[in-house]
Every structure is written in structure tokens, then in C-alpha cells.
């Protein structure tokens, strides 16, 4: 395995969209078409919210991504905002897409509550972190995290936060020295099925 880290490029989008679709198990609660659209909405939204990016490549193929937003320096390129709007409109064109989008809205509300309860003005947010399931346990996530720490030192940032939940390997963040600052439980109902999840906010102080 020959892992290279570099900045995000437009051509990475499709491969990263597939990684997100698998990581967050979108196919478990929606049709393949809607799962793809959900992943597109999620990734395009994250791309409106970063100042630092690193994509991990294995023999030229994207296998992981990390995005950090230094809030004081953030400016979203117009093209990325348009991409986000188009992906949201595409999702809303179907009834299933509109129903599934409510989950996104609920999660966003939970995240805002978790951040508000921390009562801390964080200068930075880890906007996205994902590694292809076939490449986990090979140190790629650790390399991506290390690159973020180096960026933070360069930018004189001493802390950041992130949101995660029980659908992810949230234990990884604790192994990286992050501290859980809050937790909320929520039950989703979709396609006649209910699923209970816990949502967390973690932070890290250098």
C-alpha cells in the first residue's frame, strides 16, 4: 500500500461519495438511487465548510478524506455552493428523498443543540472524516488526523470539535485523544422501521 496525502480535487468527488454512502449505510434505509443522492448532498455540504483538506490516495485512488474548517479564514467558493444547492434540489424531487431529508434536518438540529450546550466558541470544526471500509486498520485515518494537527499548529489553533454518532467508529476519536463533551439519544422512523442512535460532540485541545 502506497498512501499519498494531497488536497481535495474536483475529480475525487465520485469516489468519496461512494465511501460516504458505505460509511453511513445509506442503502440500509433508502433505495440505491436515493442513497447515492444522499451521499452527494452530504459530501457537497461538507465541501462548503472547510479551509483545509487532505485526501488519502492508494495507488491514485481516493480512500479517505479529512476536512477542517478554520472559521476565521473560511470563504466558500461560489461553485461549491451551487453544487450543494443542485444536489439538495435533486434529492427533493422524489417523495423518498424528501422523507429521508428530514433525517438530515433532525441530525442538524441535534448537532446544534450539542454545540450550544458546550458553551464554548470553538475556532475550528472537523467538518468531515471518512476512510474506505476496505482500508481501515492500516493507519490511514491516523495519517489524516496527524495532518490536521500540523495544520492547526501552523494556524495557531488550539482546539476543534466534531460531531459523530453510533453508526460510526467513534472510538477512533477517543484513541486520538479527543474528549466527549456531550451526547444525545434519538429514535428515527423510516420505511416502517425504527432505529435508535446516540449522537456525540467531541473536542480536542492541543
pLDDT for residue 124: 98
pLDDT at 96 > cutoff 80: yes
Close Cβ partners of 78 (under 8 Å, ≥ 6 residues apart): none
pLDDT at 110 > cutoff 90: yes
pLDDT for residue 194: 78
Pairing between strand 52-58 and 61-70? Answer: antiparallel
CA torsion angle 39 163 189 185 (round to 10) = 170
Task: Among 15-24, 87-96, 169-178, 188-197, name the one with the lowest average pLDDT.
Answer: 188-197
Close Cβ partners of 203 (under 8 Å, ≥ 6 residues apart): 118, 120, 122, 159, 160, 161, 162, 178, 179, 181
The pLDDT confidence band at residue 169, using thresholds 50, 70 and 90, is confident
Q: Specify the higher pLDDT residue, 65 or 99.
A: 65
Averaged over 35-55, what is the pLDDT? 97
pLDDT for residue 196: 87
pLDDT at 195 > cutoff 90: no
The per-residue pLDDT of the chain, averaged, comes to 94
CATH topology for 3-205 is Aminopeptidase (3.40.630)
Task: Quickly list H helices, 119-199.
Answer: 140-154, 171-175
Amino acid at each position: 500500500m502506497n498512501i499519498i496525502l494531497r488536497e481535495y480535487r474536483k475529480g475525487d468527488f465520485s469516489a468519496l461519495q461512494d465511501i460516504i454512502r458505505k460509511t453511513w449505510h445509506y442503502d440500509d434505509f433508502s433505495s440505491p438511487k436515493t442513497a447515492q443522492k444522499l451521499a452527494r448532498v452530504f459530501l457537497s455540504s461538507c465541501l462548503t465548510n472547510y479551509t483545509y483538506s487532505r485526501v488519502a490516495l492508494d495507488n491514485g485512488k481516493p480512500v479517505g478524506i479529512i476536512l477542517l474548517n478554520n472559521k476565521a479564514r473560511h470563504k466558500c467558493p461560489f461553485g461549491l455552493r451551487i453544487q450543494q444547492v443542485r444536489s439538495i434540489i435533486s434529492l427533493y424531487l422524489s417523495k423518498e428523498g424528501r422523507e429521508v431529508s428530514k433525517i438530515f434536518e433532525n441530525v442538524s438540529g441535534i448537532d446544534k443543540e450539542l454545540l450550544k450546550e458546550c458553551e464554548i466558541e470553538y475556532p475550528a470544526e472537523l467538518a468531515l472524516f471518512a476512510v474506505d471500509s476496505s482500508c481501515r486498520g492500516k493507519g490511514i485515518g491516523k495519517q489524516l488526523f496527524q495532518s490536521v494537527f500540523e495544520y492547526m499548529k501552523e494556524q495557531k489553533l488550539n482546539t476543534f470539535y466534531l460531531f459523530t454518532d453510533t453508526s460510526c467508529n467513534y472510538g477512533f476519536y477517543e484513541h486520538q485523544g479527543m474528549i466527549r463533551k456531550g451526547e444525545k439519544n434519538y429514535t428515527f422512523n423510516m420505511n416502517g422501521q425504527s432505529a435508535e442512535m446516540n449522537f456525540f460532540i467531541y473536542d480536542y485541545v492541543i
